[in-house]
Structure 1
Amino acid sequence: MTEPDLTTEMLKAAATHVPFDGWSQISFDAAARDAGVAPGVARALFPRGAVDLALAYHAAGDAAMLARLEEADLADMRFRDRIAAAVRFRLEAVEDREMVRRGMALFALPHHAADGARAIWQTCDHIWTALGDTSDDINWYTKRATLSGVYGSTVLYWLGDDSDGHAATWAFLDRRIDNVMQFEKTKAKMRENPVLTRVLAGPLDLLSRIRAPQAGPMPNMPGHWNVASEKHGKQDQT
């Protein structure tokens, strides 16, 4: 079998163990055994064992969300409703909430917190990219950071929601997005204020030089500094 096939089989097998033993070494070994994957091959696929398997599970949920977004007709929706739909699609991709609950417990541990934060960021990046975001400045970061907060809080609410069809979760999600939209309106008003614009001229100029990650020799860096803009600014001052 190919690597994706082995991953799929491991995840299927893990679904019968993780709800009881968490994303642990016990679950990892049992999943490999049940899927017929040799221990050495399993370790080659997931060097950190259960942690990497949990991240693969999260990535599979992202892939299911993206597939559904491709099929959905969102053209007539307001943009905030498209975001809500994407988050909803992501949560509806989960077949067993206990798998996610156990994942939250795993990534709450200090030594795995960065992995958990990166996984949520990746989900939100997928959503923005799928919805056509083309920002290449500080907005690239603020959009994903804001959505990460919305997504993370919605997941926590959803894990404890027993309402019919998770109606309470979707109402909670709508309220969180409304909060974000109000914040964006406030930001727009601040930019239109001539006094605040002058006061914040320095910080705004600094932020304007931040760019989104680019494909290049260091693709894993979080962003880059617009050196050209800095030089241009110096030339304007001379």
Structure 2
Amino acid sequence: MESTEAKNAVIDAALAHVAFDGWSEATLRAALSDAGVSAGLGRALFPRGAVDLALAYHWRGDAAMAERALTAPLGDMPYRARVATLIRYRLEAADKEAVRRGSTLFALPQHAGDGARAVWHTADTIWRALGDTSDDVNWYTKRATLSGVYAATVLYWLGDDSTGHQATWDFLDRRIEGVMRFEGVKARCAGNPLVKAAMLPLSWIRAPQSTDMPGRTW
């Protein structure tokens, strides 16, 4: 069994246990057994154990969203609708109980950095799917803003029992509307000489060029 195939088999098997045991070592052991993956290969695939299993599940959801975006008619949509659509695709690729248990795991102080990294990875994946080419400070502000929108939407979605999660999509539209108003203000301020002068010290900032640098996830 190849490593990618084995990893996916373990993730799939884990979903049957996460609702009961969370993203824990017990879930990892059970998933390895169910998938027929040896403990040695399991440790190679998930070096830090359960937290790496949870992250692998998250990365896979991001990849599924990006793949779906390739065939979506995004070019026919207003920009705010494109962003909302990709966030919706991302949530539709997720198991709610697995995400709920993941939120609990990443709320722990020792895993908070992993949780922030996961949300940033999703925001970065969405912007890349939308063809973002920024390489200055805007690279960071776009991802930081979208991370906030995504995180808030996930929390709302976890508690949403409306038909088809319509309340979540309405909440998402309101959050994006707020972001678009902010972007409009930012664009108007960009032409102000005083704002330009104030922003000059940030003009040297560039997006990370390597996956080894903070912020870059690919």
Amino acid corresponding to residue 221 of structure 1 in structure 2:
M
Do structure 1's residue 132 and structure 2's residue 124 form an aligned pair? no
- Could you tell me how far apart the structure 2 residues matched to 1:212 and 1:12 are? 35
Partner of residue 121, structure 1: 120
The list of structure 1 runs, each at least 4 consecutive aligned residues, that deviate by more than 3 angstroms after superposition, is none
Residue 192 of structure 1: how far off its partner (Å): 3.1
* 1:164, distance to aligned residue in structure 2 (A): 0.5
Q: Deviations over 1:35-69 (max 9, x none)?
A: 11111111111011110000000011011101110
**RMSD in angstroms over aligned alpha carbons?**
1.2
Query: Contact conserved, 1:64 with 1:93, CA < 8 A, in 2?
Result: yes
Following superposition, the deviation at residue 150 of structure 1 comes to 0.2
Q: In structure 1, how many angstroms separate the alpha carbons of the residues matched to 2:101 and 2:115?
A: 12
- Measure how far apart 1:193 and its partner are: 3.3
Counterpart of 2:213, as a letter, is M
Tell me which residue corresponds to 1:2. Answer: 2
Match of 1:205 among 187, 191, 200: 200
Q: How does 1:182-201 map to 2 (within 5 A)?
A: 182-194=181-193, 196-197=194-195, 201=197
The aligned counterpart of 1:107 is 106
8 Å CA contact retained: 1:137, 1:208: yes
User: Does 1:13 find its partner at 2:13?
Assistant: yes
Q: For residues 60 and 192 of structure 2, what CA distance do their matches in structure 1 show?
A: 45
8 Å contact 1:3–1:45 — kept in the other structure? Answer: yes
1:221 Cα deviation after fit: 2.0
Sequence identity percentage: 63
The residue that corresponds to 1:76 in the other structure is 76
Tell me the amino acid that sits aligned with residue 3 of structure 1.
S
CA distance in structure 2 between the aligned counterparts of 1:222 and 1:26, rounded to whole angstroms: 32
**Is the contact between residue 212 and residue 222 of structure 1 (CA under 8 Å) also seen in structure 2?**
no
Secondary structure at the residue paired with 2:135? coil
Deviation by residue 1:124-147 (Cα, 9 ceiling, x = unmatched) = 111101111000000000000000
Question: How far apart in 2 are the matches of 1:167 and 1:102?
Answer: 23
**What is the distance in 2 between the residues matched to 1:40 and 1:124?**
33
* 1:147 corresponding residue in structure 2: 146
Shift of 1:175: 0.3
- For 1:206, give the aligned amino acid: P
Structure 2 CA distance, aligned partners of 1:15 and 1:6? 15
CA shift, 1:220, in A, is 1.7
Unaligned runs of 5+ in 1: 224-238
| Structure with larger Rg | 1
> CA–CA distance in 2 between the matches of 1:169 and 1:141?
26
Offset, 1:31: 0.6
2:212 counterpart residue number? 220
Question: What is the CA–CA distance in structure 1 between the aligned matches of 2:41 and 2:3, rounded to whole Å?
Answer: 10
Structure 2 unaligned regions, length at least 5: none
Given that 1:138 and 1:210 are in contact with CA atoms closer than 8 Å, whether structure 2 keeps it comes out as: yes
Moved more, 203-212 or 164-173: 203-212
Quote the Cα distance in structure 2 between the aligned partners of 1:37 and 1:214. Answer: 36
